[in-house]
Structure 1
Amino acid sequence: MHRLLEGIALVAFDLDGTLIDSVPDLALAVDAALADLALPTAGEARVRDWVGNGSLVLMERALRHALSHSGKASLDIAVEVDCVLLERAHAAFLAHYGRDPGAHTRLYPGVRECLDGLRAQGLTLALVTNKPHAFIAPILEGFGLEAHFALCLGGDSLPQKKPDPAPLRYLAAHFGLPPSACLMVGDSRHDIAAGRAAGFRTLAVPYGYNHGEPVRDSGPDGVVESLGELV
């Protein structure tokens, strides 16, 4: 057992960039939504840097980039039209992504072994993601992992989402555990900030989506190259 699991009863995982590489599907949906609005597409590489703060922020970043490269926005009207375009773009994204959110999504190496091993050891597993809750079940079911998690929280499950610590505090209270008996595992500074503020132990993986910054700079309690190292 990894040293960071000593005294831990609950392990909370982020989803995108931690357990799964979902960017191929997210990028397809982002570009389809932009195309619906006759705006320039973004491409997978850019979307990879925009993921992590929920679907609305993802589409806001994509929309701002597209407008700046389309010649359709001017400084004096961009703010005025932004909210209208964002609502349309976000709705289009949700529609496109919802058709098959796991078509090109893959588990990272070591994830299945980690989840199976921790579950076998009797640890409670939970999921805390900023992805809309409606997309969680189809993705987990596609990998046969839906039974591994005792509770899944999406970005719209509570009024707050990461980096706010509220979802993690909710988890600890839900299972009647002190925060010190809980571990947050994620790929971004938002996961580490939320975990630290909630009083959780924190563990980072370096391969995910952290806006181009090394996640080690966020000061997690530990870093593993693969989640398989936990078991």
Structure 2
Amino acid sequence: MHNILSGKRLVAFDLDGTLIDSVPDLAAGLQAALAELGLPRPDDVQVADWVGNGAAKLVERGLAWALGESPSPELQEAGLAAFMRHYGAAPFARTVLHEGVAATLTALEERGFRLALITNKPERFIAPILGHFGLLEHFALCIGGDSLAEKKPSPLPLLYVANALGVEPRACVMVGDSRHDIQAGQAAGFATVALPYGYNHGEPIEASRPDACIDSLAALLD
């Protein structure tokens, strides 16, 4: 195994950009929501740079881009409702698993690790997406962006998971693709592992100073 796992008992994973490439479906949902409001539609590349802080922030960024200014609270509310409806109708139509995800999760479980999912995606979408890919059974606990009072980069979700599963933070690892994952892990006292292929607002993930940077999840087993 990767030496970052030495002495560790729990591995927490981000979802979007870490386990799955979900931008095609997130973009489709946002594009449909903006079109419903009579606004221009961004392309998938633009949407990829807006992913990472939850649905509300994604919609806010999309509206600000379309309007050229911050949206009103009323328009933000309407946009979010439209996005949740459109995205919720097809949250995995074009989403794909990143290479090696299923095999890595299975191998970590077989080696005695507890696994958790900590995402900023709304909780209602977690089980359908994980179930679609046959991954739900791997996770002892799943936390969404609206499950608790705070979401990443706050350490609260990570500390909640560690406490709920009875594991000291120093025995936990946070694996993610964005600075929000790394900042949350650092603040919680978790070891941090970064993946360079996800969504990090166009910034190199190395700039967040993770404890380790790996090219694929399978590298956790090397």
Give the shorter-chain TM-score range.
Answer: over 0.9
Rounded Cα–Cα distance in structure 2 between residues aligned with 1:83 and 1:45: 26
Worse-matched range after superposition: 193-202 or 172-181: 172-181
Rg larger in structure: 1
Other-structure match for 1:124: 114
Pairwise CA distance, 1:12: 0.3
Pairwise CA distance, 1:175: 1.3
Pairwise CA distance, 1:86: 0.6
Worse-matched range after superposition: 107-116 or 49-58: 107-116
Ranges in structure 2 where 5+ consecutive residues have no aligned partner: none
Aligned counterparts, 1:29-108, within 5 A: 29-68=29-68, 82-108=72-98
Pairwise CA distance, 1:113: 1.6
Pairwise CA distance, 1:40: 0.3
Other-structure match for 1:2: 2
Is residue 26 of structure 1 aligned with residue 26 of structure 2? yes
Candidates 213, 220, 224, aligned match of 2:214: 224
TM (norm. structure 2) is: 0.98
Worse-matched range after superposition: 47-56 or 115-124: 115-124
Rounded Cα–Cα distance in structure 2 between residues aligned with 1:148 and 1:213: 30
Name the Cα RMSD after superposition.
Answer: 0.9
What percent identity do the matched residue pairs reach?
Answer: 58
Rounded Cα–Cα distance in structure 2 between residues aligned with 1:60 and 1:112: 33
1:171-215 deviations in whole A, cap 9, x for unaligned? Answer: 111111110000000000110000000000000000000000000
Rounded Cα–Cα distance in structure 2 between residues aligned with 1:5 and 1:215: 20
Other-structure match for 1:199: 189
TM (norm. structure 1) is: 0.94
1:130-157 deviations in whole A, cap 9, x for unaligned? Answer: 0000000010011011100000000000
Ranges in structure 1 where 5+ consecutive residues have no aligned partner: 69-77
1:4-24 deviations in whole A, cap 9, x for unaligned? Answer: 010110000000010000000
Rounded Cα–Cα distance in structure 2 between residues aligned with 1:119 and 1:43: 38
Is residue 190 of structure 1 aligned with residue 175 of structure 2? no
One-letter amino acid matched to 1:63: L
